[in-house]
Amino acid sequence: MVSVQVTVDSSLPPEEVLEAVRDFSDRRAKIWPMVQSKYLEVHETGDTFAEVTEGTFVVGRFWERNRYDWSAPGVVEAKVIDSNVLEPGSTWEVGARPRNGGSTVEMRVNREFQPGFKGRIGNAINHGFGARWRRFGWRRMLRQVLAEIEKQGRETASH
């Protein structure tokens, strides 16, 4: 099992961060590095949830079908329903709370990998360099995501 928790401060307000986590349009592939538009399928949405399949190409197609839930204020949680890499029940969560005009963003990842070939590759990628590397890698990815959200906001404001 991979369990990682990282925290990053951002100039973005919390709602803007959470809005990007809940955005399942083609914009998602521009923000999230492991999502490709051609592998993004929205199955069902409601006021506080969405069921979505997302994926990317690593060594073949890696995909996961998640149930996203944002019924709790300040948090979006994704729980794996089905995947060819992750075990059902694996979770990914992003929370954002106000901080000095911006926000503190916390990401928690709890993932169990399937025993097959793609699960072993995902497991190796996440375990290969140790716990310190996992935290650094996930923190770096979160910073890149927040920078992309800021960039898109500036581009939208200038048009």
Query: pLDDT at position 67, please?
Result: 98
Q: What percent of the chain has pLDDT over 90?
A: 72
Give the class (CATH, top level) of 2-158.
alpha beta
Question: How do the domains of the chain map onto residue ranges?
Answer: 2-158
Q: What percent of the chain has pLDDT over 70?
A: 92
Q: Rounded distance, CA 45 to CA 68, Å?
A: 9
What is the tens place of the pLDDT at every residue in 19-38? Answer: 999 999 999 999 998 899 99
Beta bridge partners of 110: 3, 91
Tokens of 89: 């029940």
Cα separations (Å) of 83 from 49, 87, 112?
19, 7, 11
- pTM attached to this predicted model: 0.90
